[in-house]
Amino acid sequence: MSRTEQHAAFGFLIYYFIYILFTGSFIMPSYYISSIIFFSICPDFDAIVFYLKKRGKFKLDTEFQHHFSSVAHYPLLYTPFIILFIMNVFRGSDPLISVVPVIGIYFGHFLFDTIACGDGIMWGKNPFSRKKYARFINIYCNKTDGYHGKYWGARYRKTRVSKIGNIAVLFCVILFLIFQYSNIPMINPVFTSYSPRYSYHNSIMLLLLMLFLGLKFTSKKWLREPPEGRYSDYRIKEKYINGLSEKNRKLHLMKYSDLLEDKNIFPNLIKPKNSNIINKTQYKLLNS
């Protein structure tokens, strides 16, 4: 899971490459930038819901696991944007506009939530089913896997992905400054009173502020092990395990058999649909 400003930067850079290919111009209008930044960070708006549920007592600790519990982080929820993009392509509409949500949400956000995260993303999760779950996909995560909130943040900032993300943010700021002080006139055909220079300024300040907050308020105390221990997440949640397909449930129980034994979760999982898998796993443990 990249930090919010890194999602914005990655989403913009991917879209910027596509923009150059389609237009041949290296100067991007500010309304495109505002749009791609918005869609690149919009899945993380679920943090606002988490804040309201906690009545303002917002603690970024192990309890904050929105990739598991928040429908905003289920990629299949946003498939209408893909359908809309395909429809616009066949209708001959400008693809640079309709592709913005697709690039921002899927490539700027979910792609990088699948790298160096605490859990990853359930790409196959049905957003309209509360009881059914899919496997989490998470790569390059040896240092971060199983940590959440600020425990994850303190470890993530030490990864190579985080350092690349910070460079991407600063590179975007430099590009926005170039755009802002270029002498090329850019007019928004929809909002004629729209100020591109003012919008560039907002994008620059937003990225720098989020970068500052992400680096400034990460205390070394969060490098300690959380009181609940590492992997106190979906891996040991009965709701998640019982919501997997039979094949994925078997893989999960075999992969995390030691963890489930340590957490004393096995007895609670012995149900008709799980009994054969549990017995096989326990047999493996006894003979290991």
The amino acid at 162: S
What's the CA angle centered on 225, arms 219 and 229, to 5 degrees? 140
pTM for the model stands at 0.86
Contact 66, 73 (CB under 8 A): yes
The amino acid at 147: Y
d(CA 249, CA 260): 13
Burial of 42: CB neighbours in 10 Å, binned 0-12, 13-18, 19+: middle
d(CA 230, CA 144): 10
pLDDT for position 273: 52
Phi (first) and psi of residue 30, to 5 degrees: -70, -25
pLDDT for position 58: 62
pLDDT for position 92: 85
Consecutive 10-residue runs of the chain (288 residues): their mean pLDDT? 88 97 92 95 88 68 86 97 95 91 98 94 95 95 92 92 95 92 57 56 88 75 90 93 92 90 72 52 47
The residue extents of the domains of the chain are 4-223, 237-286
Q: Beta partners for 121?
A: 137
d(CA 128, CA 191): 37
Contact 85, 99 (CB under 8 A): yes
Give the contacts of 129 (CB within 8 A, at least 6 positions apart).
none
pLDDT for position 181: 83
- Could you identify the residue written with the tokens 């700021």? 173
pLDDT for position 283: 41
pLDDT for position 52: 78
pLDDT for position 56: 58
d(CA 189, CA 183): 19
What string of DSSP letters covers 114-159? GBS-SS-B-TT--TT-SS-----B-BS-TTTTT--HHHHHHHHTTS
The amino acid at 112: F
